[in-house]
Amino acid sequence: MEFKNVTVVKKANIYFDGKVVSYTVKFEDGTTKTLGCMQVGDYTFNTGAAEVMEFLSGELSVELPNQKEPLIIHSQATFEVPANSSFTLHVKSIADYCCSYAK
Amino acid sequence: MEFKNVTVVKKANIYFDGKVVSYTVKFEDGTTKTLGCMQVGDYTFNTGAAEVMEFLSGELSVELPNQKEPLIIHSQATFEVPANSSFTLHVKSIADYCCSYAK
């Protein structure tokens, strides 16, 4: 799977002392995605716009707003995160993802 | 700094148990770069084609073929690696880079 005719920011986005890194990809329609990887660890992110998170590999669980039970992910899964909320990921093995932001 | 009109592979390239991750960026002229991050650690890479490695952040030293002394990098540096050789990086803090491959 490839994204064609896009713009990529050369510099990595580095979070949590480098345990989470991502790259920003800009699309012709004005939307943005980030492609990133998370090392083993626990991470809480706050959202501005709503996000769709797609994991491509990794073992993790995710605490989402309005969900009583954590989402358990083995390798591949996609979930939505509401705008102006937060979610927490417990990453058990290196996980890579594609995050799509609402325009 | 951005790369425009490029194709990006969605899936990360994952090496050394995830301690080194990169994304492949393909250009219209047929050349390829990878954008990646290295966690703290020691890594040896073998080259096929010649490479130009540009570090954008991080503290590291690099053992290059035909260099008696290691190259010490504070944050930003660019160096070439010959084809069909190997080089070893000793990464002391999270480092992100852009690697350009000869066509």
HSE-CB for B77 with a 13 A CA cutoff: 13
In CATH terms, the superfamily for domain A7-101 is Jelly Rolls (2.60.120.10)
Contact A8 B3 (CB under 8 A): yes
Predicted confidence (pLDDT) per residue in A31-76, tens digit: 999 999 999 999 999 999 999 999 999 999 999 998 899 999 998 9
A78 Cβ under 8 Å from any chain B Cβ:
no
A83 Cβ under 8 Å from any chain B Cβ:
no
Residue A93 — very low, low, confident or very high, per pLDDT cuts 50/70/90?
Answer: very high
Residue A94 — very low, low, confident or very high, per pLDDT cuts 50/70/90?
Answer: very high
Q: Evaluate if residue B103 carries a pLDDT over 80.
A: no
A75 Cβ under 8 Å from any chain B Cβ:
no
Contact A2 B10 (CB under 8 A): yes
Q: Evaluate if residue B8 carries a pLDDT over 90.
A: yes
Q: Residue B13: exposed, middle, or buried by beta-carbon count in 10 A (0-12, 13-18, 19+)?
A: middle
In CATH terms, the superfamily for domain B7-97 is Jelly Rolls (2.60.120.10)
pLDDT of residue A81: 95
In this predicted complex, what is the ipTM? 0.93
Nearest residue to B53 (alpha-carbon basis) of B94, B101, B90: B101
Location of structure tokens 């669980």: A61
Predicted confidence (pLDDT) per residue in A25-38, tens digit: 999 999 999 999 99
Contact B6 A10 (CB under 8 A): no
Length in residues, chain A: 103
A12 Cβ under 8 Å from any chain B Cβ:
yes
Predicted confidence (pLDDT) per residue in B11-68, tens digit: 999 999 999 999 999 999 999 999 999 999 999 999 999 999 999 999 999 999 988 9
* Identity of the residue in B4, B14, B94 whose CB atom sits nearest the CB atom of A96: B14
Nearest residue to B99 (alpha-carbon basis) of B17, B15, A50: B15
Q: Evaluate if residue B95 carries a pLDDT over 90.
A: yes
